[in-house]
Structure 1
């Protein structure tokens, strides 16, 4: 049996990825991006204003400082935001840039890989906001039938 190069092994693994299989590494990535704070950070990174229906907002990605993200994501703790940003940086979805100013300026920006996911996550966020009334009505109807 011929030996495969590392590139050939990676190509074979890529062909073999199937998230429906228990030992597929892509499950770890799905678990990561399905986390609420990861999804919200990816959706928020670069949004230049409120995302309410009727508001003017390009939704185009741009670099943001930690404090901007913290204000944008109501309810996120400092610890959770820091952990989320580190995990996204580790996965190559965003870059962290430190500028030596007084005080030091740290910005976060989506990489090309993160940008490709940003569009998907942002679409899910918009969908959830647009359909929340319908979901709440369905929940109420379901709960009434069970009572």
Structure 2
């Protein structure tokens, strides 16, 4: 389903009711560039999703040309730091300071902050020291097919 479709919210609400899925079990992730493409309309869609109780996350934060005033208007639960900032956060002080600032901004706006593209322990350790909430990347796992993911979960249960 596309968020821009006129009946998206109604279809989602119907699906949640039919499946008896709690809205907060669903996380809708959008990129900063999607929001900035048509801010008024897209923020309205996000507000409607939030009213339903859906968890909202902003992917690739810092890669588009949004202003900080826009971030404050977004009904977000999660801010995801783009991999481009994580790549050099250990080697370049400027990238480290940007990562620190994004983490602080997210927390000050009551958002969970997730770092994408974590590839080594130095990056992870820096993110832990800066208070990042969660991490994703090859350090933890390469992308896997759904079947392999379920198989891995089942093995961990044993």
Calculate the TM-score normalised by the size of structure 1.
0.27
TM-score by length of 2: 0.25
User: Larger Rg: 1 or 2?
Assistant: 1
Greater relative contact order (CA < 8 Å, ≥ 6 in sequence): 1
